[in-house]
Each structure stands twice: as C-alpha cells, then as structure tokens.
Structure 1
Amino acid sequence: MSARTGEWDDERSSRNGCTGCLALPFVMAHRVFRPSRPDRIRDSGIERAQIARTAIGIVATLWMIFAYPLRESAMDVVGGKFTEVFLSTGILLIAGPLALAAFVLSARPPVRALYRRRLTGPLRGFAALFGCAGLLFLVTSGAFSQIGAAAPVALLGTLLGLFAALFALPFGITAAVLSVHYVFRTADVHEVLPPLI
C-alpha cells in the first residue's frame, strides 16, 4: 500500500514474482470491494478517524486478552471473531440489497437513473463474494478432481482445485472483512448509504 495515496501499488506487487502471486488475492479483493467512483466525496479526516478507531479497537482487544485470564482458549476467541465477521457479512447480504433498492426507488426521477448506473460497484462486490463461495464449494465437493476419468486428467483437476482453493480462501476471508468495512461499496451509489446501513 502506498503511503502517499493510500492505494495498493500493483506495479510493485507484480514485479515481486512469488510475493506478488501470494498477494494477488488480497490485492484483487481490495480492488473489488473498495469504493472507486471518481466523483465520490472523500474526507481524509474521516478516513484517519476510521484508521484510528480500528487501531484503538485492536489495542484494546489485545490489552483485554493479556490483562484478564480467558475462560476460552485463544483459538476460540479468534474463531468467535471470524464468526462475527461472517455473520456481519451475511446480514449485509440481506440488508444491503434491500437498502439499495429502497434508496434507488425512493429517489426523485431525475437522479434515479444516475443511482441505477452507480449500482455496478455494489453488484460487482456481491457477485465476487458469491463467486468465491461457489468456487470454494466446488473445491470442497471434489468437483475439480472428477473432471476426467483418466488418471493424468484427474490429477490435473486436483491440482487446479488446489490452486483455486489457495486463491479463493484468502480472497474470501479478505472479501468478507472488506465487504463489512466498505458496506459492499454502497458509497459508490451515494456517500450517505454506508453509515445508514
């Protein structure tokens, strides 16, 4: 991430070879889920406050973990946090489209068409998350290993499934976190939508 612009430096990550390949799911998830409408209003003060809020939350959580004895193991705590992220993503999968539809339908006719055109960002985020979930389902169900009956083709399918899982798993986790953070790119439609949702 570039310190000057706050955006991912894709040229640098593509030149780093293997490191760039390992970072590819994270970079792609960031591209898909970060609002990117050119005329979107951005307030650097609010962005700094969001970063500070996140840092304070991480420090407070770590302090609580180390200051007080846990009744649960550390893995249970981490698992609980992942469960919270995925539950939040699931709630947004339902609330997001309903809020977007209500917002676009309640807009005045002259701007309703503009808001409809801006729906491509949130729709791209929903499609990416569903596509990732579908790919992970195919990998875990063994669909890739059943591509062909011949042993070399089945081996190729298994390797393809392994590479798909190595991409889809970090992409899916990053996508879940970023979809909650950016509220499925609803700021691409209008800046007031993420805080309302």
Structure 2
Amino acid sequence: MDLPNYSIVLKNFYPNKQKLILLDKNLGKIECIFISKPNHHICTGTILNYLLEEKSQIYKITNYSIEYTPILLATQNIFFLHKILETTLFFSSFDSQEHSKHTFNLLCYLYHKGNLNFSINFQQLSVLKLFLCLGIFHEEKNDWEDAQQIQSSLGLDKFVDIPLNIKLELKTELLIDKLIKKLLLEHPSYNYLKTFNFNWTNNAI
C-alpha cells in the first residue's frame, strides 16, 4: 500500500546507491530506496513529498516531488544548517515515531525563518531544543539537572518557538554550550561528527 508522506533528507547515497536516509514526519528516521532512478538531484536537507511502499520491512519510494530546498538558510549560515541536519541524523533512532513530528516541525520552522540572520544564542537554543525534540534528555542521565535548569529559566519547550531576538546571560550561554558538548561526546559515533568542530557563527562566511 502506498502512503503519502513528508520527509527531510538526512543523507543521500546517490549516485553510488539509489538510497536515502530520511526523517519522515510520521515514521521517524527511515532508510529508503528508489524503485526507479530519480529525475532530480536531491540535496541533503530537502523536504520531499512522496509515496512510500513498505514490503518486508524495506521502504521503497514509488513517486516523489521536491517540496522545498533550504537555500535561504544555507546561504545565511551553512554551518548551522549542517549542524542541525547532522545532529538529527546521528541522534535520531530508526523507525522511532515518538519524537518524529516535533523534530520535523522544528526543522521546518528553522527553514521558514532561514532568510534571517540567526544569532549565536538562537542557534545554541535551537540545537538544545532539537535534543529535547529527539528525546535525548532523560531523568536518569547526568545532564537532566542542567537541562531542567535551562528549560525552567528560559521556558524552553518543544511546543513553543524560540524568540529570534533572544539574548542570554553569559552564564546561561556557557552552560548551554557545555551541555551540548557533553551530549555530543556521549554519542558512540562522536568521532564521525564534523560540523561541531566549527565555532558558532552568525553567517555563512
């Protein structure tokens, strides 16, 4: 049975393989193959509208259209775009539907505001909110207390948009930076992460 879906491309193996890793709005992170050769070059970060067929736990794209490519955000701050896509790729679980809608909606919100110059504080909070949407914070983890402190002091919530003009106190900014780095270091594939070697920046150059 074909189902209409929306997704964001997290990794594209084409032309070596006709395969994609997608963040599907309803299904979470999934691996898909094209039934036939795609007609367009599909960039990482692209939003697809597509028909998906599942057979024997294999997802196949039977038809698709490109809904949006985040050119504006890439132009304003390519490093930040790569940060959020890489974080989503590495920290989301395959076929985990619990957090997929919140994560998808956050990325779409950032795309929608992509023509603006995001402040460093906004970027930091967006990455932290992305971890929240992905369900990374848990009470049994050591980072829970710091995360709770930030959430309560800033009203950070996966249902609420982050103000574009937000300005953090230096103490809070350093705490967020420390927490993000700690979460990254805990990932078993940390050495494969690339974009967090770059410092936070306000623009693409």
State TM-score, norm by structure 2.
0.31
TM-score, normalised to structure 1, is 0.31
- Higher helix proportion (structure 1 or 2): 1
Which has the higher Rg, Structure 1 or Structure 2?
Answer: 1
Q: Answer 1 or 2: which has greater strand percent.
A: 2
Using CA pairs below 8 Å that are at least 6 residues apart, which structure has the higher relative contact order? 1
